[in-house]
Amino acid sequence: MRKLVLSALLASFAVPAAANAAQLVVSSYDTPNGDGQASGGSFNYWDKNYTGAGAKTTDGAPLTGGVGDLTDGVVAADFWFNVENSAGEGPYVGWYTPNTLNPKVTFNLSGTPTVNEIRIHLDNSRVGGVYSPAAILINGVNTAFSGPANGTIGWVTFTGLNLTGASHTIEFQQDLRGWVFVSEVQFLGNGVPEPAAWAMMLAGFGMAGAAMRRRNKLQVA
C-alpha cells in the first residue's frame, strides 16, 4: 500500500515537471514585414504566410496579432538565394537597412513563462549584402552574441537570460551595408503548467489521499 501511495505522489509531480522544461509556445508576434523587390531586392522576402492583420505583400508594412515564418518550425536549410522567390514564400524574412531600419519584433508567449534561452537562425552568406546583424537587442538591451561564421547560415544562441513575463522584444540592428535575414526564432524555458496539467496533478493528490484513507481503515479493522 505504501508503494501505491508513493507512486501516486510521484505521478502527481511528474506532469508539471515534464511540462516545464521545453520550447515555449509563441502565441503571436508583431513585426514589420520583410522587404523585397520594391526595395531593390532580387526576390521578395515577406512574411507572406503571416496569420494576423497587415499587408503581407508590402515591404515594411506593420503585421500584428498573428504568427508566420519566424515561428513556424521551418529552419532554412540553405542560403537565401537558393530558397527565396519572387512570390515571397521562402523560409526567411529579410529586412533592408534603407527601407526598414533596425526591425523590432515583439513576441507574445503563452502563459507566464520564464525564458532562459533564445535561439535565432540567421543567414550570414555575405552575398548580395546579406550579413549577420551588427547588434541584437533583447528587451532593449544590447546582448552580446557570436553570429554564424562568414559565408554560412546557423543559429545564434542566448543563454542564462531568466526573462519573466509573456512579452519580449528582439531588435535586429543591421550591418549598414545591406540586409538581415532571419528564418526562425525559438524561446526555451520554464512555463506555468496548462490547466490540464494542474488537473492531472490534483487527481494524483486525490488518489494518494484515497489510498491513505483506505490503508488507515484496513489497519483499524
Among 69, 44, 49, which Cα is nearest to 59's?
Answer: 44
Band the pLDDT of 192: cuts 50, 70, 90: low
The model carries a pTM of: 0.79
Where residue 177 falls among pLDDT bands split at 50, 70, 90?
A: confident
Render 29-73 in DSSP notation, one character per residue.
EEEEPP--GGGT-SSB---TT--SBS-TTSTT-EEEEE--GGGSS
Of 164, 180, 72, the residue nearest 131 (C-alpha)? 180
pLDDT of residue 1: 47
The string of DSSP letters for the chain reads -HHHHHHHHHHHHHHHHHHHEEEPPEEEEEEEPP--GGGT-SSB---TT--SBS-TTSTT-EEEEE--GGGSS----S-HHHH-BTTS-SS-EEEETTTS-S-EEEEEESSS-EEEEEEEEEEE--STTB---SEEEETTEE----PPPTTEEEEEEE-S--EESSEEEEEEE--TTSEEEEEEEEEEEE-PPPHHHHHHHHHHHHHHHHHHHHHHHHHH-
Q: Which CATH number fits domain 25-190: 3.30.70.100, 2.60.120.1190, 3.20.20.140, 3.40.50.300?
A: 2.60.120.1190
Domain boundaries, the chain: 1-22+193-221, 25-190
Output the CA torsion 208→209→214→215 (10° steps).
70
* Residue 215 reports pLDDT greater than 90: no
Q: Is the pLDDT of residue 218 over 50?
A: no
Cα Rg, the chain, nearest whole Å: 23
Q: Which residue has the higher pLDDT, 94 or 175?
A: 94
Please answer whether residues 107 and 167 qualify as being in contact, where contact means their C-beta atoms are separated by less than 8 angstroms: yes
Tens-digit pLDDT profile for residues 108-154: 999 999 999 999 999 999 999 999 999 999 999 999 999 999 999 99
Q: How confident is the model at residue 197 (pLDDT cuts 50, 70, 90)?
A: very low
Alpha-carbon span 204 to 10, nearest angstrom: 8
